[in-house]
């Protein structure tokens, strides 16, 4: 069975601190896809990144970076120099692909960035 675990329910940091959100996944598939979504208080789920199982290259986008490690089944997300606008719930998700690409979500991590 597929499963995504986000052990951190809530994280609170002060602006400009770095913060890492953890994501651990379980799957028996050899091909799979991992995602991060941001959900601000307005409610919309905003796509941040997709990573394929065969591509373990880490990625950096501005203040955001992602560390994908198949050996530990983890796909962690780091925000550098956090800002108040980063305050949101962050969801990690897993998919095996296929025609309909069903997403398995983690329970989310609420990040509060204090000014």
Partner 1 sequence: DAMVIQNPRYQVTQFGKPVTLSCSQTLNHNVMYWYQQKSSQAPKLLFHYYDKDFNNEADTPDNFQSRRPNTSFCFLDIRSPGLGDAAMYLCATSRGGQGTDTQYFGPGTRLTVL
Interface positions with partner 1 (CB under 8 A): 33, 35, 37, 42-47, 50, 91, 95-103, 105-108
Are 27 and 2 spatial neighbours (Cβ–Cβ below 8 Å)? yes
Q: Minimum distance between the CB of residue 103 and partner 1, rounded to whole angstroms?
A: 6
Q: Specify the 3-state DSSP secondary structure of 40.
A: coil
Nearer to partner 1, 7 or 46 (CB): 46
CA distance 111 to 82: 10
Q: Minimum distance between the CB of residue 97 and partner 1, rounded to whole angstroms?
A: 4
Nearer to partner 1, 64 or 105 (CB): 105
Question: Which residues lie closer than 8 Å to 15 by C-beta, 6 or more apart?
Answer: 82, 83, 84, 113, 114, 115
Nearer to partner 1, 76 or 95 (CB): 95
């Amino acid at each position: 069975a597929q499963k995504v675990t986000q052990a951190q329910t809530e994280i609170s940091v002060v602006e400009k601190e770095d913060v890492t959100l953890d994501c651990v996944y379980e799957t028996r598939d050899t091909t799979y896809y991992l995602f991060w979504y941001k959900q601000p208080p307005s409610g919309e789920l905003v796509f941040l990144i997709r990573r394929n199982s065969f591509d373990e290259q880490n990625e950096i986008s501005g203040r955001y970076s992602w560390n994908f490690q198949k050996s530990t089944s983890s796909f962690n997300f780091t925000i550098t120099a956090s800002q108040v606008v980063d305050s949101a719930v962050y969801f990690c998700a897993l998919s095996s692909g296929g025609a309909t690409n069903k997403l398995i979500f983690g329970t989310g991590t609420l990040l509060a960035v204090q000014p």
